[in-house]
Amino acid sequence: MYYQGAVEGAANTESGSRVFVYEVVGLRQSKETDQTNYQIRNSGSVFIRVPYNRMNQEMRRITRLGGRIVSIQPISVLQQINGKASSEVASEAMSKATSAKSAHEGNGNATPVKAESPKQQQPKNKDTKGNTMTQAKAKKDAHADVPVNIYRPNAPFIGKCISNDALVGEGGIGIVQHIKFDLEGGNLRYVEGQSIGIIPPGVDKNGKPEKLRLYSIASTRHGDDVDDKTVSLCVRQLEYKHPETGETVYGVCSTYLCNLKPGDEVKITGPVGKEMLLPPDEDAKVIMMATGTGIAPMRAYLWRMFKDNERAANPEYQFKGFAWLIFGIPTTPNILYKEELEELQAKYPDNFRLTYAISREQKNPQGGRMYIQDRVAEHADELWKLIKDEKTHTYICGLRGMEDGIDAALTAAAAKEGVTWSEYQKELKKAGRWHVETY
């Protein structure tokens, strides 16, 4: 997966206008509700339009008025049909906006890695009804042994391409490659969830050497061959229309990587990142939500958990917990690593659950395209129950637009127990159990 740097121009004109509809029951008639525009009935549901930045404030207000939120659905104030909100149009608009936002790779800016928090603070236990969080304080030196910045841009490691294999099946959309690099002769070490930098050859539009781009590592610390001599990436060739000229533009680094031949030399930096590391607990519960090449770190996790040769190489880590991957892709041929994922599911049915959201083939309950946020909404109560377990870690990787819909679904699930999701999520982050890298 590639992390985009600064995004130029036009792409996301709707991001500030995202609106959700709360379906509420039990609102009572009162002096306060008389001053609102709510259409209060003696029975049945009330539907309230809420901007994204007021979701939690409105949820607390509804609770004060005796109401209970039973569902939350995304809409857009820019798209309505016959006066009624269309979830399909909203989902499509959200997808287009985030796709455009991720499209502009060729600006030469490396994406900064999120700074590591110098301290992991003890979550404050709150008396909020339904809040079952009891996590212990995260150790501030928990990741002290994780390697970072072994190779820097001014002195990169020169690796060699070993293989470059297509991941998109016939009839699929775009080009995505699984690329394996030889690390022999160097000292590049990494763990699952980290990233490496790639410096493409040539100069940028200003005549300066191209800057590095970061990509999530798609292999375990032992590499695809389990010999500690390789590292692998999952790379999509970026392709988009220039917003002014309409010309087709290809991403500089992604095109370079997708066209590599075995034996080609590559400048590699890193590794970097501690945000997406797996817990060492063999009994952990791991929720993974990915879109497209956001599958890269999830693949590394799953291989470490379940692959026979990996388990043989890691006698100190024999995963016995539960992992659930929710994977968003446009078509069936775009299911990256499909055969390998489904093989793991068949072999470990009690420990690994695989759920697809195939947007151009499946429909959500409103008849629109099935995006990952729709799958999360469908399983929100199950996910919420898992998330409350102190052994659960949640990982999100892919397009940034997926986060709003996930938050909306979990807001509704938490609200059924009187819990404010945004506050609960903050405690998860402090406890080191909520991990996000989106672009």
User: Within 13 Å and on the Cβ side, how many CA atoms surround 166?
Assistant: 10
Among the options 14, 192, 310, 437, which is catalytic?
Answer: 437
Q: What is the CA radius of gyration of the chain?
A: 23
Q: What is the mean pLDDT of the chain?
A: 80
1-10, 244-253, 419-428: segment of lowest average pLDDT: 1-10
**Own/partner pairs, 311-314, CB within 8 angstroms, 24+ separation:** 313/222, 313/226
pLDDT band at 246 (very low <50, low <70, confident <90, very high): confident
Q: What average pLDDT score do residues 120-142 get?
A: 39
How far, in Å, CA of 318 to CA of 400, rounded? Answer: 33
The sign of the CA dihedral 218, 223, 225, 230 is positive
- Please state the φ and ψ torsions of residue 180, each to the nearest 5 degrees: -115, 135
Is residue 94's pLDDT more than 70?
A: no
Residues forming beta bridges with residue 395, ordered by sequence position: 288, 435
Q: Which of 2, 215, 301, 337 is catalytic?
A: 215
Strands 265-272, 195-199: parallel, antiparallel or unpaired by DSSP?
antiparallel
Catalytic residue among 105, 397, 424, 427: 397
- Inform me whether the pLDDT recorded for 107 exceeds 90: no
Assess whether pLDDT exceeds 90 at residue 178. Answer: yes
H-helix segments, 259-364: 295-306, 308-313, 338-347
Is residue 96 pLDDT above 50, yes or no?
Answer: no
Of 87, 195, 216, 232, which is the active-site residue?
216
Under the banding of pLDDT at 50, 70 and 90, the label for residue 11 is very low
Is residue 437 flagged as an active site residue?
yes
- 215 in catalytic set: yes
Selecting among 38, 240, 371, 439, the annotated active-site residue is 439
Q: Is the pLDDT of residue 129 over 90?
A: no
What pLDDT band is residue 321 in, cutting at 50, 70 and 90? very high
Per-residue pLDDT for 64 more than 80? no
Mean pLDDT of 180-186: 95
389-414 average pLDDT score: 92
pLDDT top residue among 141 and 259: 259
Mark whether 256 is an active-site residue.
no
397 annotated active-site: yes
Alpha-carbon distance 131 to 152, whole Å?
Answer: 44
Q: How many residues does the chain have?
A: 439
Q: Which of 61, 20, 24 is nearest to 46 (CA)?
A: 24
H/E element, 285? strand 285-291
How would residue 1 be classed by pLDDT, with cut points 50, 70 and 90? low
Kindly report the pTM of this predicted structure: 0.73
- pLDDT grade, residue 145 (50/70/90)? confident
Residue 45's pLDDT band (cuts 50, 70, 90): low
Instruction: Grade residue 75 by pLDDT with cuts at 50, 70 and 90.
Output: low
Beta bridge partners of 329: 358
The pLDDT-based confidence of 119 (bands split at 50, 70, 90) is very low
